[in-house]
Amino acid sequence: MSLKFLREKFTWIKLCSVLLCMAGTVIVSLSDSKGTSTATAKNHAWGDVLCIISACFYAVYTTLIKKQLPDEVQDDEKASTALFFGYLGLFNGVIFLPIMLILHFTGVEPLHNLSSLQYGLIIGKGMLFSLAVLVVYFF
């Protein structure tokens, strides 16, 4: 997508990266089809399809971010990438927190199945990603 819409230059590293990601998805899909996963997951194919759709939407999302928020400043216009990601996190929290709570209290997707270590890792990953964005933006 970035080659077509952003007119980025083709490199073999980019091609190898995309092929490795696709190979990882194929490996996970094949391991699911052999029944090696736990018995709690009932529909492996649906999860695999959602994973592929998610990857496609992420490709569109990152391409649009690069197109709308370029790295260089043009004509004295300043676009703050850090501010954009801050608002993105705020809006995701405001919009999806009620949905998450509804899913939890209806029993569709209970949150108590995660351990405190898992919650800590999720929060730590988010904080490290935010720090990485700030470091890249300011340095």
Tell me the C-alpha distance between 109 and 36, whole Å. 23
pTM of the model: 0.48
Q: What's residue 95's pLDDT?
A: 92
Q: What's residue 99's pLDDT?
A: 92
Res. 34: pLDDT tops 80: no
> Taking the alpha carbons of 61, 68, 125, 97 in that order, is the dihedral positive or negative?
negative
* 96 phi/psi in degrees, rounded to 5: -95, -15
User: Tens digits of per-residue pLDDT, 47-100?
Assistant: 777 877 888 888 888 787 777 776 655 555 666 666 777 788 888 889 998 998
* 107 phi/psi in degrees, rounded to 5: 85, 5
